[in-house]
Amino acid sequence: MPTLIAEAATSIKTFSLARRVASFNIPVLIQGETGAGKECVAKLIHSAAFGEENDAPFIGINCAAIPEPMLESTLFGYEKGAFTGAVNSVPGKLEMANNGTLLLDEIGDMPLALQAKLLRVLQEHQVERLGSNRPIKLNFRLIACTNKNLEAEVAAGRFREDLFYRISVVPINVPPLRERAGDIIPLAESFLQKYARMVGKNIVLSERAKSALVKYSWPGNVRQLENTIQRGMILNQDGVIHASTLGIPLVEESAPYIESWQPAAPVTQAADLNDNLQAHGRSAQYQYIADLMGKFQGNKTKIADFLGITPRALRYRLASMRKQGFDVC
């Protein structure tokens, strides 16, 4: 069974429903934003239904990725000579999924004419290849995925109402990543392990990088998070991914003064710094940063990360220190 990350309550609820549905051979409609993990949920249902050792086929087709003239022949298959270029008989995805699972990804993009033909196949549990009158019995588990609101598509006349009710016996909603913040760091760390061989060493996230990941809204969901972690691993510094290398907006980016700094997480060093600043004032701030410049050999990225601020905010402070006569690099 696929290893899935579920720390947030919404994720646990979604995966629990998927496992319960797997006990019954009924059509399932999985809805959610692009990149949220709909196919992962579909594979979970398949694995739970057929078991790890079972060789039942899992056949997927993206209805939005195949041109309309080719989609029908891809789904239904065709006999030799059915059309120009059909030099051999080819089974369709419906037939190939027999005794297994058929995943119709982005079904909301299927043309209306083809929706009617698909509905007939689902009702009769049989299919005829293009160019043939011989019915082929079908027995598969149907899972459909979409990033669209199919009820709205039905209302707009772009999706058949009868097909909608046929495929959505049990609807499962996959929440976007921004609504399951508890999954972000566990997912990020799973990607670090996944791509460790790519960089040839173990990479870790700095505390401020973790904070930046959790605060970001992730419009591209899990898929975007995976790409972001890959970028950070490539640009790591001494085995550490810093927030500045992630390529995502940082919440603290506009804060120019140390008085408004907020630690990325409850880190002891950052908390100690804040107490020190309040007790000793601006002069102590300058001296503390000057000491860190020596400790980290002028590495501004490491210093900013240690303080829980952005490199830009650190540059503002260093410029102010120079004006006050502090000797900084």
pLDDT at 3: 64
Mean pLDDT (whole number) for 19-41: 95
> Is residue 206 within 8 Å of 299, Cβ to Cβ?
no
Cβ-in-10-Å burial (0-12, 13-18, 19+) of 195 comes to middle
**How many residues appear in the chain?**
329
Question: How far, in Å, CA of 55 to CA of 35, rounded?
Answer: 27
Residue range 6-28, pLDDT digits in tens: 899 999 999 999 999 999 999 99
Neighbouring C-alpha atoms within 13 Å toward the C-beta of 56: 19
Which element (helix H / strand E) includes 116? helix 112-124
Place of tokens 């995805």: 93
DSSP 59-109: EEEETTTS-HHHHHHHHHEE-TTSSTT--S-EE-HHHHTTTSEEEEETGGG
Structural domains of the chain sorted by starting position, each given as residue range(s) with its CATH number in brackets: 9-175 (3.40.50.300), 181-323 (1.10.8.60)
Percent of the chain with pLDDT over 70: 84
Could you tell me which residue, 200 or 112, shows the higher pLDDT? Answer: 112
Q: For 278, which DSSP code?
A: H
Confidence band for 264, pLDDT divided at 50, 70 and 90? very low
Q: How many CB atoms lie within 10 A of CB 322?
A: 12
Residue range 183-223, pLDDT digits in tens: 999 999 999 999 988 777 889 999 999 999 999 999 999 99
